């Protein structure tokens, strides 16, 4: 599409190579011009926010699936490939342990950690496994009946009485160990795949990985083994076999934000065949609409995610600035890179960098009228609330600062950027607004010692 067709000519020459005449000629055909949904300023802000950290960031417009930012760090100078990269430079890029050529946004597979908790809470509510007033007592660990093994909460002394909101705001692991056991892995698999986890999204570039949302059938087919209850328990906090790409996490967050509309993520906004033609708009693709059984269930999860940032004990409360013009809904996450023995203690300060936990954060804003959904993964960053959340906060702020207070309350489309030199698309090429989803009537876990505010 971008390359076009190469031209050629057949010529007659003399013995000295001088052209005597042209026998046949085919002129080159220029490639198409592509207009992208990516916001170049948001790309720059994202890269600056990452600084020297490794990881990925994906930001999406929840209204249509347009990709606003896609950043994989560390990056590299793509201009090196324009006229052919020399072997020494290519070898340095290809063998670097930081893997700059590896597109983490669609190829990186990470344990999502606690960022799955809002989804599992909604799964429990929508399947009637729990009710809005559901509450447990968290002593700091969870045990399966008849088993001695203790599945530890990050807070070793426990959270005490914990309801749905508190479980998300303070990221109570025990709540989700218990909920996962009630749901069962197959019900978890079915619910999560509807949000796009464990399958390719269909993004308009090649090479995407599918991540993994396990099931009994998957383990029997791939591992030739039966599924164990303990594997369900740890899947409840986004560990074990569960893997997601940053794109999947951002897309799932967008679907959660907009009330169940799952769009195909799109980089390309418009295609222009010739310079004198009007660019052809690439319309949003609504893949599915997740049925809402009770709007109150979705509202409860959204409220809890908002308290993660704006609540007094939220794990990402540092994003709640006094001058913030909007509310953010989000969830922090911390994912183990390696397993810690039952009687061992995780000591972050004694680990080399590549063994430290990954830091994650997912969010959407404004919380009551989402215009951006975002997912951030910082490899070996440590804590989602202190490392990944501030990166997302800078990107959200940069994007929403372009809107007035009144515009933040209504749907506003943004102009797109282009990849090749061509005239600006006419205003009539903007995609039609997609209506919001209609409301329906109504086995090893670590003992981790860390500060509450830093936990994901």
The catalytic position among 46, 114, 171, 201 is 114
Return the pLDDT at 439.
37
pLDDT at 438 over 70: no
Q: Where are the alpha helices (DSSP H) in 330-446?
A: 389-400
Percentage of the chain lying above the pLDDT 90 cut: 62
DSSP structure class, residue 207: -
Predicted confidence (pLDDT) per residue in 391-403, tens digit = 999 999 999 999 8
Q: What's the gap between Cα 35 and its chain centre?
A: 23
Return the pLDDT at 47.
94
Q: What's the gap between Cα 257 and its chain centre?
A: 13
pLDDT at 325 over 70: yes
Does the active-site annotation cover 411?
Answer: no
The tally of CA atoms less than 13 A away on the side-chain side of residue 343 is 1
The phi, psi pair for 275, rounded to 5°, reads -60, -30
The least confident of 204-208, 242-246, 382-386, 439-443 is 439-443
Average pLDDT over residues 88-98: 87
Average pLDDT over residues 263-274: 90
Return the pLDDT at 431.
38
Better-scored residue on pLDDT, 80 or 344: 80
The least confident of 67-81, 174-188, 226-240, 344-358 is 344-358
Kindly tell me the burial class for residue 85, based on how many C-beta atoms sit within 10 Å of its own C-beta (0-12, 13-18, 19 or more). middle
Q: Which domains, from first to last, does the chain contain?
A: 1-31 (no CATH), 38-424+440-454 (3.40.710.10)
Predicted confidence (pLDDT) per residue in 28-73, tens digit = 888 888 899 999 999 999 999 998 899 999 999 999 999 999 999 9
Kindly tell me the burial class for residue 139, based on how many C-beta atoms sit within 10 Å of its own C-beta (0-12, 13-18, 19 or more). middle
């Amino acid at each position: 599409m971008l390359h076009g067709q190469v031209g050629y000519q057949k010529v007659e020459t003399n013995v000295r190579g001088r052209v005597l005449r042209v026998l046949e000629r085919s002129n080159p055909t220029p490639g198409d011009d592509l207009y992208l949904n990516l916001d170049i300023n948001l790309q720059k802000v994202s890269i600056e926010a990452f600084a020297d950290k490794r990881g990925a960031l994906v930001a999406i417009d929840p209204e249509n699936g347009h990709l606003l930012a896609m950043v994989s760090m560390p990056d590299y100078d793509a201009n090196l490939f324009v006229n052919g990269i020399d072997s020494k430079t290519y070898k340095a890029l290809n063998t670097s342990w930081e893997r700059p050529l590896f597109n983490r946004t669609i190829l990186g597979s990470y344990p999502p950690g606690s960022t799955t908790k809002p989804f599992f809470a909604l799964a429990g509510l929508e399947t009637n496994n729990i009710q809005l007033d559901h509450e447990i007592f968290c002593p700091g660990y969870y045990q399966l009946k008849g088993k001695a093994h203790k599945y530890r909460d990050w807070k070793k002394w426990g959270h005490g009485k914990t309801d749905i909101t508190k479980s998300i705001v303070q990221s109570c692991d025990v709540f989700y160990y218990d909920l996962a056991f009630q749901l069962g892995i197959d019900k978890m698999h079915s619910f999560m795949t509807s949000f796009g986890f464990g399958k390719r999204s269909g993004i308009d570039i090649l090479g995407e990985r599918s991540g993994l949302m396990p099931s009994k059938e998957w383990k029997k087919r791939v591992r030739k083994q039966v599924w164990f209850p303990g594997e369900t328990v740890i899947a409840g906090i986004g560990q074990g076999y569960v893997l997601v790409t940053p794109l999947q996490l951002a897309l799932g967050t967008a679907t959660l934000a907009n009330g169940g509309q799952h769009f195909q993520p799109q980089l390309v906004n418009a295609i222009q065949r010739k310079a004198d033609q009007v660019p052809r708009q690439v319309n949003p693709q609504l893949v599915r609409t997740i049925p809402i059984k009770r709007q109150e269930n979705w509202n409860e999860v959204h409220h809890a995610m908002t308290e993660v940032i704006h609540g007094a004990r939220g794990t990402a409360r540092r994003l709640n600035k006094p001058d913030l013009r909007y509310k953010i809904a989000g969830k922090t996450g911390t994912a183990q890179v390696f397993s810690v023995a039952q009687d061992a203690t995780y000591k972050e300060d004694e680990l080399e960098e590549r063994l430290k936990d990954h830091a994650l954060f997912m969010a959407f804003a404004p919380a009551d009228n989402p215009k951006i959904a975002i997912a951030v993964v910082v490899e070996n960053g440590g804590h989602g609330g202190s490392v990944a959340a501030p990166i997302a906060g800078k990107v959200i702020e940069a994007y929403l600062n372009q809107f007035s207070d009144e515009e933040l309350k209504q749907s506003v489309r943004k102009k797109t950027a282009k990849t090749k030199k061509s005239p600006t698309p006419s205003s009539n090429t903007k995609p039609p607004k997609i209506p919001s989803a209609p409301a329906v009537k109504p086995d090893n876990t670590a003992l981790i010692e860390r500060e509450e505010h830093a936990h994901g």
